[in-house]
Structure 1
């Protein structure tokens, strides 16, 4: 689907976790990393290693964001009042591609990025093709009329693989979603434990 679609399972294997909770993930069969040295016994991870891993996991989850993009989001989270780690999650979840994924309009974050890029999504009635577009509470996201019958969309909407979180209200008959509020970490249905506090420590060194 997108430039990293074929590599998404490599991210799972590299991290040793099925970060999206997908049944086809190779981690379900092999929990060790890829490559000839993947089965080597790993020593105890340093604090830096744990922080780096937490950052890679969060970056990977949202479609393998670039370091530049991710750092920019962190810096904004740090500037805002309140808990930086909670701000970071709120900013990541308010990305347009993240909401398209949460609303089950597409099956993966990678597909969400491409779906937005290709102009299939409207925000408050206007076409937006920037995946990182910041959606605000109250905004209405809609799949473009011509795109509502795409097999990708219909299959994702009917999938029982994951549920829509309560901070997104969805009508799959009309293919519309409303972003109700900015979530906190505990609201977000991650398949694995995310540790944004370690990401904050990583950038605060």
Structure 2
């Protein structure tokens, strides 16, 4: 098992949820906490509940760093409308998140690496910045030389996930279009996300 996979599963175990809904998650086999004998989960304080909600949302998107995540929160709070909904919209606009949603990569971690290695074109231009904010109408596709990569073909053919309605995707051409930023209810999270608690955490 690679360090990247170990890190991913540690997040699942620590939070006690199958964060990405994957069949291989150790949470499916064992509900106890990390460690040989597991740990009893204590009742969390309000701060603990808010912190866990933040960690869950950060972890889902490939364990985004605190500085980058807080920057997204600040931008979400600056915009008009509900801050929690704005935050979800900004997270889903990340290029690595779009790659994951189109099923071009099996996990958010793999999607981040896929973008970083320069396999993705946005409106015909090569981009290798996972945090790049995709705009409405932007076209995303896999570079010609990368379209036969096994990880891409296997992920697209997988029935583990569906492409959400706010993204159009042509599985044969490996090309998609970001239609719009979604609302919380539109995002196919395998577990319940609570961006309102994240807002409360940063508003303390």
Normalising by the smaller structure, the TM-score range is over 0.9
Following TM superposition, by how much is the alpha carbon of 1:34 offset from its aligned partner in structure 2, in angstroms?
Answer: 1.2
Residue 35 of structure 1 deviates from its aligned partner by 1.9
Using the TM superposition, give the Cα deviation of residue 6 of structure 1 relative to its aligned residue in structure 2, in angstroms. Answer: 3.1
What is the CA–CA distance in structure 2 between the aligned matches of 1:111 and 1:162, rounded to whole Å?
15
- The 5 Å alignment of 1:1-205 reads 4-36=4-36, 39-205=38-204
- For residue 103 of structure 2, give the secondary structure of its aligned residue in structure 1: coil
Which whole-Å CA distance do the structure 1 matches of 2:196 and 2:42 have between them? 23
The aligned length equals 204
For residue 23 of structure 1, give the secondary structure of its aligned residue in structure 2: coil
Q: Is the 8 A contact 1:2 1:110 kept in 2?
A: no
Structure-2 separation of matches of 1:122 and 1:182? 19
CA separation in 2, counterparts of 1:115 and 1:3?
17
Q: Which runs of 5+ in 2 are unaligned?
A: none
Deviation at 1:45, TM superposition (A): 1.1
Instruction: Say if 1:86 and 1:2 are closer, same or farther in 2 by CA, change over 3 A.
Output: farther
Give, in whole Å, the separation in 1 of the partners of 2:3 and 2:50: 26
C-alpha root-mean-square deviation of aligned residues, in Å? 1.4
| Unaligned stretches of 5+ residues in structure 1 | none
Aligned-residue offset at 1:40: 2.8
Q: 8 Å contact 1:2–1:114 — kept in the other structure?
A: no
Q: Which moved more, 1:88-97 or 1:40-49?
A: 40-49
Aligned partners of 1:16 and 1:32 also within 8 Å? yes
Separation of aligned partners in 2, 1:15 and 1:160: 26
